[in-house]
Amino acid sequence: MLKRLMPASLLLGAFAVQAATPGFDSQELANRWTTAYNEHNPAALAELYDENAVVMLHGSLTLKGRQAIHDYWVEDFRESNPITTLDVSHTIEGVDMVLVHGNYQVVDRNDGALLGKGRYAHIWLLDANGNWELDRDLWYEPVEPY
């Protein structure tokens, strides 16, 4: 019985380490993303992602790798003049990963027209240098019922 409880207690302890780290702020991770996006800087935005990151967008193809992600955001910025807000609603923290989940809204910065809204989930991983990188990025825009 003790042998089965030991791994579980170690796992729970691992999740408590990051949560107890002073100064950790999941909204700050979300703000890194929105700053790069709202500056329409696809290079800075792509640098937030791990080299092998995956982005899944509602109604679009899955993007794999930093270059594909960069190219997608280049095209996205050509469609209109978007600005995005990310509001964190839930965070699950581990030793070297954090899941940040919340609401997003995209508006046209010229006229304020709503371009999209929904839920997002970011999985950030801590790299060998102690920097947070996006590993998985999921965007879901609910469809209105008929």
Structural domains of the chain in order of their starting residue, each with its CATH number:
2-140 (3.10.450.50)
Q: Report pTM.
A: 0.79
pLDDT digits (tens, 9 = 90+) for 57-68: 988 889 999 999
Q: What is the mean pLDDT of residues 44-56?
A: 97
The C-alpha atoms of residue 13 and residue 55 are separated, in whole angstroms, by: 30
Amino acid at 109: R
The C-alpha atoms of residue 100 and residue 79 are separated, in whole angstroms, by: 27
Q: What is the mean pLDDT of residues 8-14?
A: 42
